[in-house]
Every structure is written in C-alpha cells, then in structure tokens.
C-alpha cells in the first residue's frame, strides 16, 4: 500500500546548514520521491528546501 503526505511549510530552513539537516531527515524517512521521482542528487534537494513552502512525500 502506498502512502502520501502533503505539508504546508510556514518556516522553511533559512540557511544551508539547516536545509542539509532537514534534507537528511527527509531522506532517512525513506520517502521514495526524494531519490526516485525524479532522481534528485542530495545537494540539489537540500538547496531547494528554503525556496519551497509546500512539500510532498510518497512511499510504496
């Protein structure tokens, strides 16, 4: 069974260090979309987090 989570983000990370820690938490959650849909290198994913106010995750 697949699962989905949609999150509205009031306070995205404000600096690279916080974005990298948060990106690591996302990867460790085993959400499939971070590495598979589309494949996104970790540094690019972390850099994108401060610019986004809505995040979505899915699992198989």
Q: What is the pLDDT of residue 30?
A: 67
Return the beta strands (E) in 1-60 as ranges. 3-8, 54-59
> Can you tell me whether residue 5 is helix, strand or coil?
strand
- Indicate yes or no: pTM above 0.85: no
The answer to whether the beta carbons of residues 46 and 19 sit under 8 Å apart is yes
Q: Please write the tens of the pLDDT for every residue from 2-47.
A: 688 899 999 999 999 999 999 998 888 866 666 666 777 888 989 9
């Amino acid at each position: 069974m697949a699962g989905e989570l949609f999150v509205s983000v009031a306070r995205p990370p404000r600096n690279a260090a916080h974005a990298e820690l948060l990106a690591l938490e996302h990867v460790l959650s085993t959400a499939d979309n971070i590495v598979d849909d589309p494949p996104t290198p970790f540094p690019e994913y972390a850099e994108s987090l401060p610019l986004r106010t809505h995040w979505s995750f899915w699992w198989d």
